[in-house]
Structure 1
């Protein structure tokens, strides 16, 4: 999850500068350039998070028996294609900033490795009746250098009347390096085959499902001071992810194959921790930075039944590829 948090370090620079002054075209150009850089850096990570959050919700179109309860443990692995690890930026895409000693550069996204590219410029404007003049030179952001990103969670499901199934998901807060992360969510699945004539459990089963997931991530980093104005040392990110899909499954004794087609909608909200007179200004500006992304995806997988125990595997494909392994026990 650290992948899409790091991008905010760049965004903060333009937010603070935008608070300094609104009258100077140099500030406006700086803001535009930072949006370009940060957008290219963060977009793959945001898209990848939606694939992780959508996996593992439903692995069969058949519903649980009414009031039966199932507990599940899941592990995800999001695989990052090479095309999502870097992007190229050129001098022509920047209006105010310059690429130091170059006209273009290949930079890492949040999933990429490190870089030694620097950006430079000079901000000038007016703040509280005083002229502000400040040189800007900063290193382009480094990625987390990962080819795949793991993610684990637990689920509990209960069978409801009318062929409906309720699932809740949670991952208690865990700390890895300087990142604290947690997730929870809920999903509903409704069997559609019950409305067909001559429907039997061994027949092809169809269902529709919807889910909501919420990620919360806190990333503590080495304090970044903006002299006389602000110190930043923590990013708190809330991610809201919705998914809707149609599921089909067919059971052959203790083996079941399933597939699904669906769409996800995701948005992210950011709050900055630290100190200084401008911290509130930063967080007010960050309220407008949330972005909504809609993506389409497909799932395919199978289940193996062993009495009350079931093992599921699922591959989710689209812009990214995600594998999910689940172990389920029905009471």
Structure 2
């Protein structure tokens, strides 16, 4: 009786140890893949922040009440080559190591690509022995991608004295393995109208607040067929807080702006980390998890616009961590 009771206690203790061991392994693995995911996705989160927060204005002068403008805005953001890779240092991870014993390796971000497959090992401690699980690290879009284009519709209308409301929208667009969509709204107020001698003031001055929501999806497969069940799904919320100045000439005018930008990106990885078949039981640990990246930065804008009757053209260069060229053509009334 006592021996039976002792044996049952032993089995319970063994099961509890195994359960705790699996739980600790799961927590460490999630922490590791989350750390990797943040480093992998962060360049894209920053690049999108700098891309989306441009094109909000082509003048500091706001429209009169019920006057409006509808524009097609395009921009090109230049990708920094040093953002295509990052150093994966195994000392910063719980259970990750490389098979060749390297302590660190340069691995691709979402803007990079491996010349050869890079396989990391996740050590699972089973009854005091490490059981390695092989995991192939994901590639990025392409190591040769040097720029990211974007295009959207934007409308603005004067609503009351010295203030205009803006909205922007781009429908869902799929090209290659990338899918994206955006919408946003903004408010611009011309504070140079506060001055008692507004006509004598040499330039228009205004302040702008703009919000943009971006939804993006990157298919990690190379089949060319979109599969929403396997890929990187990103939701980014960006804000632009800008001060703008522009000249007062009749046709050709110049404008400049200084902005503070913020972005919060929530990125979900689904089916990105692929384990070997014998470790299929652990696949759920590295699937369906998400990471959050927060970024901020300063952007300076220098641009020019040229007006024809009811048509305006504008071109600007944005000085920021990911430099950007923005161009637009609009109809106004």
Task: Provide TM-score, normalisation by structure 1.
Answer: 0.79
Could you say if the C-alpha distance between residues 148 and 201 of structure 1 is closer, same or farther in structure 2, counting changes exceeding 3 Å?
Answer: farther
DSSP-derived class of the 2:38 partner: helix
Which of residues 251, 258, 270 is equivalent to 2:255? Answer: 258
When residues 60 and 315 of structure 1 are mapped into structure 2, their CA distance, relative to the original with a 3 A threshold, is same
After superposition, the C-alpha distances for 1:11-43 in whole angstroms (9 at most, x for unaligned) are xxxxxxxxx977554444433433332222211
Residues 311 and 81 of structure 1, relative CA distance in 2, 3 Å threshold: same
Who is 1:144 aligned against?
142
Q: CA deviation at 1:123?
A: 2.6
Tell me, yes or no, if the aligned pair for 1:301 and 1:315 is still in contact at 8 Å: yes
Deviation at 1:125, TM superposition (A): 7.0
1:113 matched to 2:105? The reply is: no
Report 1:40-119 matches (<5 A): 40-101=39-100, 102-116=102-116, 117-119=118-120
Note the C-alpha offset of 1:271.
5.3
- Corresponding residue to 2:303 among 301, 304, 319: 301
Distance 1:279 1:238 in 2: 22
> Matched residues in 1 for 2:156 and 2:285: separation?
41
Gaps in structure 2 of 5+ consecutive residues:
1-18, 223-227, 272-280
Partner of 1:8: none
More strand by share: 1
Which position in structure 1 is the counterpart of 2:314?
312
TM-score (norm 2): 0.78
Counterpart in the other structure of 1:129: none
Go from structure 1 to structure 2 and tell me whether the alpha carbon gap of 1:234 and 1:141 turns closer, same or farther (over 3 Å shift).
closer
Instruction: Work out which of the two has the higher radius of gyration on C-alpha atoms and give 1 or 2.
Output: 2
Partner of 1:291 in structure 2?
293
Is the CA contact 1:115–1:140 (under 8 Å) kept in the aligned structure 2?
Answer: no
Answer whether contact 2:239 2:262 (CA < 8 A) is retained.
Answer: yes
Deviation at 1:81, TM superposition (A): 1.9
Q: What is the CA distance between 1:52 and its match in structure 2?
A: 0.8
Structure-2 residue corresponding to 1:169: 168
- The answer as to 2:268 corresponding to 1:267 is no
For 2:328, the equivalent position in structure 1 comes to 326
5+ residue gaps, structure 1: 1-19, 127-132, 224-230
C-alpha distance 91-181 of structure 1, shift in aligned 2 (>3 A): closer
Contact kept? 2:68, 2:332, Cα under 8 Å: yes
How far does residue 238 in structure 1 lie from its aligned partner after superposition? 2.0
Equivalenced residues, count:
296
Deviation for aligned residue 1:62: 0.3
